């Protein structure tokens, strides 16, 4: 029996014993290093995906891998833009190859199932490509029976939870960057890293249905937040975490068994 769910804190022999059960599952949190306004740290996306993975791991008998702390380029219509100070990004090719390499390494160890828990919107398609390539490559080199799963944690926030977290009405996922959802989760999971005295309170961004190059900083709020986090609370963060954790556990169990 493993004594920790954190792979980076586990010794190699205990990890080998876990793998030898043949039922091993590794959750890979992915995020970014990206500005989230003046009230939140740059590491929000990886912090949240790691914490959510850890919350689900015990029930799933899973290990949590070290998080991907860099992600694909922040975009104006979802993250404020890659031009903003503090945002440091990978190319799509780099993220695909990193995902493929790490998934293959776990497959090589004897892990048969990996699930990537995404915490940065722009990552998704590149994570998808990397996992697809990893599973195909595993088959080519004789590592049959390996399977992978990809999910973004916010996709498990149901309508009932949205109504509780946004009593005045939910304005849409496209402007939830540095807003109520991420800030509430951080207030619950990492309250020491949130400074609500610096939280901006301005109208939501009015976004175009297209992108332009080079990016125009004037098209998104100067705060870096696409909506105000003013309604965020730790209690709402706790509700969000409970909903997301339960949904992830159900989804992973339905695909991989328990």
The confidence band for 2, taking pLDDT boundaries of 50, 70 and 90, is confident
Please say whether the dihedral angle defined by the alpha carbons of residues 77, 81, 82 and 88, taken in this order, is positive or negative.
negative
Backbone torsions φ then ψ of 39, nearest 5 degrees: -105, -10
Cis peptide preceding 224, ω within 30 of 0: no
Please say if the pLDDT value at position 251 is more than 70: yes
Name the active-site residue from 39, 122, 188, 215: 122
Question: Catalytic site residue 36?
Answer: yes
Question: Catalytic site residue 155?
Answer: no
Please say if the pLDDT value at position 234 is more than 80: yes
Mean pLDDT of 119-137: 98
Side-chain-side CA neighbours of residue 62 (13 Å): 30
pTM: 0.96
Q: Say how far apart CA 35 and CA 155 lie, in whole Å.
A: 22
Mean pLDDT of 43-57: 98
Q: Say how far apart CA 116 and CA 152 lie, in whole Å.
A: 8
Question: Catalytic site residue 34?
Answer: yes
Are the beta carbons of 30 and 49 closer than 8 angstroms? Answer: yes
For the stretch 67-83, pLDDT in tens is 999 999 999 999 999 99
Name the active-site residue from 34, 39, 188, 215: 34
Name the active-site residue from 8, 11, 17, 36: 36
For the stretch 186-207, pLDDT in tens is 999 999 999 999 999 999 999 9
Name the active-site residue from 59, 129, 182, 188: 182
Name the active-site residue from 39, 176, 177, 188: 177
The confidence band for 257, taking pLDDT boundaries of 50, 70 and 90, is confident
Mean pLDDT of 177-182: 98
Q: Would you state the pLDDT for residue 245?
A: 98
Higher pLDDT, 4 or 45: 45
Question: Catalytic site residue 215?
Answer: no
Q: Would you state the pLDDT for residue 229?
A: 97
Name the active-site residue from 39, 120, 188, 215: 120
Question: Catalytic site residue 13?
Answer: no
Please say if the pLDDT value at position 1 is more than 70: no
């Amino acid at each position: 029996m493993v004594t920790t769910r954190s792979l980076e804190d586990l010794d190699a022999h205990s990890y080998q014993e876990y793998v030898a059960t043949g039922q091993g599952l590794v959750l890979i949190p992915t995020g970014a290093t990206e500005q989230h306004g003046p009230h939140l740290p740059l590491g929000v996306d990886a912090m949240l995906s790691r914490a959510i993975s850890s919350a689900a791991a015990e029930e799933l008998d899973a290990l949590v891998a070290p998080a991907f702390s860099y992600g694909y380029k922040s975009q104006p219509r979802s993250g404020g833009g890659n031009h903003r100070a503090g945002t440091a990004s990978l190319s799509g090719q780099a993220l695909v190859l990193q995902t493929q390499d790490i998934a293959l390494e776990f497959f090589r160890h004897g892990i048969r199932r990996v699930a990537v828990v995404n915490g940065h919107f722009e990552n998704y398609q590149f994570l998808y490509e990397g996992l697809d390539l990893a599973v195909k490559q595993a088959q080519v080199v004789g590592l049959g029976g390996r399977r992978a799963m990809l999910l973004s944690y916010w996709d498990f926030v149901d309508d009932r939870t949205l109504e509780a977290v946004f009593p005045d009405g939910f304005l849409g996922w496209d402007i939830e960057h540095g807003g109520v959802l991420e800030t509430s989760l951080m207030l619950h999971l990492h309250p020491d890293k949130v400074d609500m005295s610096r939280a901006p309170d301005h109208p939501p961004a009015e976004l175009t249905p297209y992108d332009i190059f080079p990016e125009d900083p004037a098209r998104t709020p100067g705060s870096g937040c696409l909506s105000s986090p003013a309604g965020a609370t730790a209690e709402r963060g706790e509700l969000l975490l409970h909903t997301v954790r339960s949904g992830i556990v159900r989804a992973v169990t339905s695909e991989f068994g328990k």
